[in-house]
Amino acid sequence: MIWLVTAGRDRRPQAVPVWFLWDGRSFLIYAQPGIKVRHIRSNPHVELHTNTDENGDVVVRVAGEATLSKSQAPAYKVPAYVRKYRADLKGFGWTPEEFSRRYPFAIRVRKLRFH
């Protein structure tokens, strides 16, 4: 789990936990239609924050630019994503195809700065 922080035109930040896939160069996140998508359309600057250890000592913060990728395959066609979240999908009673129907927007975060 990683926290995605977006802000729209009103510049009010919103942080939400999201599933993600890290490929060594960028983060891939799938989203439902809604505020995350609207924010990214109006302001591509985002922050990502990892969950921390139980003492709160280990936090990784990443600043980057998010784009809504029309060429990105849906989640069910990304084997590493399906492998990573197979148990979670099953827990919701969803197939990978159902998840992809519910979360059709692929967000790619690049131009990363690690803090």
Q: What percent of the chain has pLDDT over 90?
A: 84
Banded pLDDT at 11 (limits 50, 70, 90): confident
pLDDT digits (tens, 9 = 90+) for 44-64: 999 999 877 777 777 889 999
Name residue 47's beta-bridge partners: 5, 63
Q: pTM, whole model, 2 decimals? A: 0.93
Q: For residues 98 and 106, what is the distance between their CA atoms, to the nearest angstrom?
A: 15
| Domains within the chain, CATH numbers bracketed | 2-114 (2.30.110.10)
Span 82-90, average pLDDT: 97
Altogether, the residues listed in the chain come to a count of 115
Cα–Cα distance list, 37 to 6, 18, 68, 100 (Å): 9, 13, 8, 15
